[in-house]
Amino acid sequence: MNVKQIPNAITIARMVAALPLLYFLIEGNTLVSFWIAMLAGFSDSLDGYLAKKFDWRTALGGLLDPIADKLLLSVCFVGLAWQQAIPLWLCLLVLGRDVVIVTGAWVWWKTIGPFKPKPSWISKLTTFFQIVYVGLLLANQAYAFVHERVLYSLFWLVIVFTIASGLDYFIRYGRRAMRVWRKE
């Protein structure tokens, strides 16, 4: 293996970690779930650092990294919904937003051509709040140190930002598509 592929190998390992993470979430093993999620988060930082520091960026890594992040976050929402630690509808809202975005990108690619996503600030905040919420929820399950008001506030921030960013993507890319179609 070429050293330039080390960040990709770390990303793939993070993707593979999704399966045991889901298993331990479903089994209710909160301590192991928490530490798998934390190691996955650390590996995300590590592969990004290595790719940037040593200029080991690759097209494959640029594709795999956000997929790995979404996979792990989705697994956490599914596992937490399975445990009934979060409402099922919240899990469906988070996953539904991602399905709508991916479906929209696929339709764009099929009807207009190559799709270059540009995450907005609201999308980045949505992901941030989702990660912090899931991380603190897992930490609270494992160690019971997070105040319920913090979790409740994050719960509502996840809802509001997930809806807002879904609408933002829909409106922004809908307008761009309309401009492209009018030119044809």
Of the candidates 78, 65, 74, the one whose C-alpha atom is nearest the C-alpha of residue 13 is 65
- pLDDT given for residue 174 in this prediction: 84
Residues 6+ apart with CB under 8 A from 177: 108, 111, 112
Per residue of the chain (184 residues), what is the pLDDT tens digit? Answer: 788 899 999 999 999 999 999 999 999 999 999 999 999 999 999 999 999 999 999 999 988 998 999 999 999 999 999 999 999 999 999 999 999 988 888 888 888 888 777 789 999 999 999 999 999 999 999 999 899 999 999 999 999 999 999 999 989 988 888 888 887 7
Q: Rounded to two decimals, what is the model's pTM?
A: 0.92
Q: How far is it, in rounded angstroms, from Cα 163 to Cα 166?
A: 5
The structural domains of the chain, with segments of one domain joined by +, span: 1-85, 86-184
